[in-house]
Amino acid sequence: MMKYSIREEAALCSVEQQFDGMKRRDEAHAAMQDANDQQRQRIKSLETEIEGYKKQIAKEEEHNEKLTLVLTSVRWTSRQQEVT
């Protein structure tokens, strides 16, 4: 077994601490990357959902316009029948 001087042991301990610190930093960075990826995926999902709602709203607006035209036509026809 090799014997280390106090200075060598301190240096070795310092290197080990730096390695552990870098390892924790890398783990934290990986966790942040994962969380970031999940948020991006959630945003993309919400954007897709919003586009679906926009299309649905446009369809409903078009349907409403058609119903309004029918209602206007029925009212006009009804008034014309009242006049005659």
**22 CB-side CA count, 13 A:** 6
Q: What is the pLDDT of residue 15?
A: 80
Band of residue 4 on the pLDDT scale cut at 50, 70, 90: low
**Cβ 12 vs Cβ 4: under 8 Å:** yes
The span from the CA of 55 to the CA of 58, in Å, is 5
**Residue that has been written with the tokens 């990826």 in this structure:** 37
How do residues 29-84 score in pLDDT, each as one tens digit?
999 999 999 999 999 999 999 999 999 999 999 999 999 999 999 999 988 888 77
Q: What is the pLDDT of residue 2?
A: 64
The span from the CA of 45 to the CA of 53, in Å, is 13
Q: What is the pLDDT of residue 82?
A: 82
What tokens were used for 62? Answer: 């078009």
Residues in the chain: 84
